[in-house]
Amino acid sequence: MNCLARRFIRYAEIDTRSDPASFSFPSTPGQTDLLKLLRDELLEMGVEGVHLEQGGILYGSVPGGEEGVTIGLIAHVDTAPAVSGHGVRPVVHREWDGSPIHIAEGVVLDPGECPQMEPYRGGAIITSDGKTLLGADDKAGAAIIMEAVRRMLGNPGTKRPRIVVAFTSDEEIGRGMDNFSTARFGADFAYTVDGEQPGSVDSATFNACRADWRITGIEVHPGSACGRLVNPVRIAAELISMLKPEEMPENSSGEEGFEYPMEVSGDTEAAAVQMIIRDFTTEGLAARVHRMHSLHRFLSEKHDRAVIELEIRNQYSNPRDTLRADRRLVDYAMLGTERAGITPTETSIRGGTDGSRLSFMGVPTVNLPTGGGLFHSRREWLAVQGLEKSLEVLLNTIFVWGENLDG
C-alpha cells in the first residue's frame, strides 16, 4: 500500500463516531484523539500556527506560498453516529475483479448497485470487516489533505497560493462550524475534501432543517381506556403517514428535496419523531417548513387532549448563490480535475458539508472528492486509485490557483 492509503487506514482505526446526545465539544473523546494525532503530524512536518482548540477545531498554516489569496483546506474527523465506529478493521481487497465483495455475513458490496466502482476494476478496494462503517467520510479527506501538505512542503519551488488547513469535529451532527473561527483560519476561499468520486466538483448542497416532534398523551389502562386514553404512538404514526411518500429520500434524486423521518420512539405516555427536511432552493425549504407547521396545527386541533410540540432548527444552507459572485473556486477545480485526466462535472451534493455553513460565514467553499462511496453504512468503500486521483485533483487545483495569482 502507498503512504496515502496507509495514512488513511491509520486514521480509520480510531473510533471517532460523533454523539448527538452529548453536550461536550467534541461530542466524543475519540475525535480529540485523532485531532491530537493530526496536530502532532502537522508539527512534525513543519506546519506553522498549529493550534488545537478545546472546541474541537485544529488549525495550521503551510509555510511558503505567494501573497494575494489564501486557500483553506478542510476535512472533518468524526464519523456518522448511525453506524458503529468502534474497532474499525480496514480490509484491503487487492486486484478486485469486479465481482461482489462479501464483506461479512449479510453485508455484500454489489457493484451492480454501485456503478461508480467500475473504473477501479483491477485495483484495490478498502472496506471495513462488516461490523462497523469504514470512516472514509471523512478520514479519506483528512488523509488527502495531510498528504497534500507533505507534498507541498517537499516541493517548495512549485508556485502556489498561501495554504491553511483546518480539521473539524462533529460535522455529522451539524456542529462542525459551531466553534469555528474564520479569523483564525484566515482563508479567503476554501475547499472541503468530503465528496465521493473524482470528476465531481460540488458547488451546491441542500438547504437543511431539522424538525423535532414531541407528543405527550394521556396514559390509561387499556381495559378502561375508552374515551380517556390519548395514545401518542398512534399520533406519531398518523404524522408519518401524512408525509408524501414520493418525497422521501428513497424516492427522490438529483435536486429533488425530501422530508425524512429518521427516528421514532415512544410509549403510551409520550412519543418523539425526529425528521430532517431538505431542499435545494430557499423557497422550497420554506414551503416544506410551512407544511410542518400546517401538520402541527391540524394534529393539535384533531387531538386536542394531547400536547404536540414541534421545534424546527436550521442546519445549513446551499452555498450556490454565494459562489456566483466569484467563479474561480469552481473553475480552477474543474481545470485541476481535467489535468488529472478526468472529465469534470459541476455537481450538487445531496447532503451538506462544513462548507455549506462556512460559505455563509464569509468564506466561499466548494467540495472536492475522496474516491469512496456508500458512506454511513457497513458497505462503505474506498478505492485506493480513487483516493490517489482525489489527491491529484486537489494538488492540481492548488497549482492552478498559483498560476493565476496575478490574474
- Residues 389-405: tens digit of each pLDDT: 999 999 999 999 999 98
Residue 76: predicted pLDDT: 97
Is a pLDDT exceeding 80 seen at residue 326? yes
3-state percent helix, strand, coil for the chain, nearest multiple of 5: 35, 25, 40
All three cell numbers of 399, joined, read: 497549482
- Residues 12-24: tens digit of each pLDDT: 999 999 999 999 9
The pair phi, psi for residue 273, each rounded to 5°, is: -130, 125
Residues with a catalytic annotation lie at: 78, 171
Choice among 149-153, 246-250, 379-383 with the minimum mean pLDDT: 246-250
Do residues 251 and 189 touch, judged by C-beta distance below 8 A?
Answer: no
Residue 269: predicted pLDDT: 94
The pair phi, psi for residue 280, each rounded to 5°, is: -80, -15
Is a pLDDT exceeding 90 seen at residue 317? no
Q: What is the CATH class of 3-205+318-403?
A: alpha beta
DSSP string, 128-189: --SSS---HHHHHHHHHHHHHHHHHHH-TTS--EEEEEEEES-GGGT-TTTT--HHHH--SE
Residue 356: predicted pLDDT: 86
Is a pLDDT exceeding 70 seen at residue 264? yes
- Residues 26-80: tens digit of each pLDDT: 999 999 999 999 999 999 999 999 999 999 999 999 999 998 999 999 999 999 9
Average pLDDT of every residue of the chain: 95
For the chain, percent of residues with pLDDT exceeding 90:
89
Q: Where in the chain is the domain with CATH 3.30.70.360?
A: 208-315
Q: Which residue shows C-alpha cell 473523546?
A: 29
- pLDDT mean over 354-381: 94
List all residues 6 or more positions away from 321 whose beta carbon is below 8 Å from its beta carbon. Answer: none
Q: Residue 349 — very low, low, confident or very high, per pLDDT cuts 50/70/90?
A: confident
- 176 vs 146 pLDDT, higher one: 146
Output the furthest CA–CA distance in the chain (Å, rounded). Answer: 83
* CA–CA gap between residue 154 and residue 176 (Å, rounded): 30
Q: Residue 251 — very low, low, confident or very high, per pLDDT cuts 50/70/90?
A: very high
Q: Specify the pTM.
A: 0.88
Residue 328: predicted pLDDT: 95
Residue 407: predicted pLDDT: 57
Residue 30: predicted pLDDT: 97
Q: Residue 243 — very low, low, confident or very high, per pLDDT cuts 50/70/90?
A: very high
Residues in a beta bridge with 101: 109
Residue 140: predicted pLDDT: 98
Do residues 45 and 153 touch, judged by C-beta distance below 8 A?
Answer: yes
Residue 1: predicted pLDDT: 66
- pLDDT mean over 290-303: 98
* CA–CA gap between residue 251 and residue 65 (Å, rounded): 47
b/e map of 182-191 (b: 16 or more CB within 10 Å)?
A: eeebbbbbbb
- pLDDT mean over 317-338: 92
DSSP string, 214-271: EEE-B---GGG-TTT-B-HHHHHHHHHHTS-GGGSGGG--TT--EEEEEEEEE-SSEE
Collapsing DSSP states into helix, strand and coil, what is residue 71? Answer: strand
Q: Where in the chain is the domain with CATH 3.40.630.10?
A: 3-205+318-403
Q: What is the CATH number of domain 208-315?
A: 3.30.70.360
